[in-house]
Amino acid sequence: MKSGKIYSFSDVILAMALTMGGFVLFNGLQPPLQHHFNLLFDANQYEKAYGYFSGKTEYYRVNYPFSVRILVPWLAAHLPFGDITENFKAVNLLFSLAWVPLWFLVSKKVGLNRIKTWVGWFWITFHWVGVLKGNLSDPITVDVPIYFFQLFLAYCLIARKWGFLLLATPLMTIQKESLLPLLLVLAIYPGISLWRRHDKKAPIAILAAFLISLLTLKITGHYFPPANVGKNGAVNLFYNTLGLLGHPDLFFRWVCAITLAYGGFLWASIRNYSFRPSPILSHQQWMVPLALTYAFFSLFAGGDFTRIAFLGSPFVMLLLLRNLELTALQMGILLAISVPAMRLLGSIPDGGTDFETWTTWYPEYAPWNWLVIYCCYTVTVVLASWRWLKNTASDQKIN
């Protein structure tokens, strides 16, 4: 089954129009989180940053790591809509549209065909913790721009646009500090390997970007110090690791969470992974460490397994989709077992006023009766992937 050319300009325009339509639809159907009733939600910290940048408060009293994520609160504070929720929604809408052209561009760079490109766009856009729904449920957030910046990072790496990477690093860093460990991982692999193969420009550029990101964080932390003095990424990681060691059941919850994030795409790719030595494609040397880093983040960087796992979806979906070579029938089976994880119908409960119901949507927090349901779904997806989603011969696949 041939899918023709990879994409056209009309594909990008159509995807952006559908994204806009999805935003309008979910904006009308999904009630926003009343975060004031639960101080555990990140929106309470971003509201403090917004208040400072909009001149409503004199002192910057924001906890780490939210204190260094100044880009989105600053942008929202300078919009004219007057209401914090509407201003954050405006920033979210801007980046909800901005990531789409980059997705089609980078998909072409890694060799995704038109069908896979559209499937990836649909998954990332309409998944319940993806670009639209989850961020309209909790609109006072800095998560939406990360889809744009991660694709920009992927483009710079694959196309070897090192000047663009260095120029954008400060902006990407003050959007979210997770860029720093990503660059550190890339400096190790494939950085060291590339250096040994006498490709020195790439590791030098990545190391330079890492140092720029580190310097940006130091400067940001100096001018916007955290209210919780003594907290940093290493301290948070240590306490999160202790929490996991004390609750080994969280690992099973994590497996269910990443299944809910990526459905059959994850398990079909694992099913088709080959341990035989094979040449590493140019895009894989970048996407594999980035995807694995987000898998690490999802387990150790905080309790929100599902949301954090999905924040890496630009890297993860590019990698998973590129590795799958399925027939049209197999793609239908893959979508059939995966779409339920998207939760296209229904609204995310308000975690502020009904926290107990809100927890049922997240395997990491769900009560045991709901966890059993998530485990059953995970087992079903794994078995179906092993039974029906083996990669096929090249003359039968969708390409």
- pLDDT at residue 278, rounded to an integer: 52
Q: At what angle do helices 145-159 and 313-323 cross, to 10 degrees?
A: 50
- pLDDT at residue 231, rounded to an integer: 65
Instruction: Tell me the pLDDT tens digit for each residue of 154-172.
Output: 999 999 999 999 999 999 9
Q: Is the pLDDT of residue 239 over 80?
A: no
Burial of 251 (0-12, 13-18, 19+ CB in 10 A): exposed
Q: Is the pLDDT of residue 3 over 50?
A: no
Instruction: Tell me the pLDDT tens digit for each residue of 306-361.
Output: 999 999 999 999 999 999 999 999 999 999 999 999 999 999 999 999 999 999 99
The pLDDT of 220-225, averaged and rounded, is 96
- Taking Cα atoms as reference points, which of 98, 100, 47 lies closest to residue 76? 47
- pLDDT at residue 283, rounded to an integer: 80
- pLDDT at residue 29, rounded to an integer: 94
pLDDT band at 240 (very low <50, low <70, confident <90, very high): low
- pLDDT at residue 160, rounded to an integer: 95
Instruction: Tell me the pLDDT tens digit for each residue of 247-284.
Output: 778 899 999 999 999 999 999 999 998 755 555 667 88
- pLDDT at residue 159, rounded to an integer: 95
The pLDDT of 215-226, averaged and rounded, is 96
Buried b (16+ CB within 10 A) or exposed e, 42-81: bbbbbbbbbbbbbeeeeebbbebbbbbbbbbbbbbbebee
C-alpha separations of 357 from 319, 341, 364 in Å: 34, 18, 13
- Determine the residue type at 148: F
Tokens standing for 191?
Answer: 């950085």
**CA–CA dist 380, 388 (Å, integer):** 12
* Mean pLDDT score across all residues of the chain: 92
Q: What percent of the chain has pLDDT over 90?
A: 84
Q: Are 87 and 76 in contact (CB under 8 A)?
A: yes
Cis upstream peptide for 181 (omega within 30°):
no
Count CB atoms within 10 A of the CB of residue 347.
14
Instruction: Tell me the pLDDT tens digit for each residue of 85-129.
Output: 999 999 999 999 999 999 999 999 999 999 999 999 999 999 999
- pLDDT at residue 236, rounded to an integer: 66
The pLDDT of 182-200, averaged and rounded, is 94
- pLDDT at residue 395, rounded to an integer: 40
The pLDDT of 179-194, averaged and rounded, is 96
- Taking Cα atoms as reference points, which of 62, 229, 37 lies closest to residue 142? 62
DSSP assignment string, 296-346: HHHHHS-S-HHHHHHHTHHHHHHHHHHH----HHHHHHHHHHHGGGG--SS
pLDDT band at 228 (very low <50, low <70, confident <90, very high): confident
pLDDT band at 397 (very low <50, low <70, confident <90, very high): low
- pLDDT at residue 281, rounded to an integer: 63
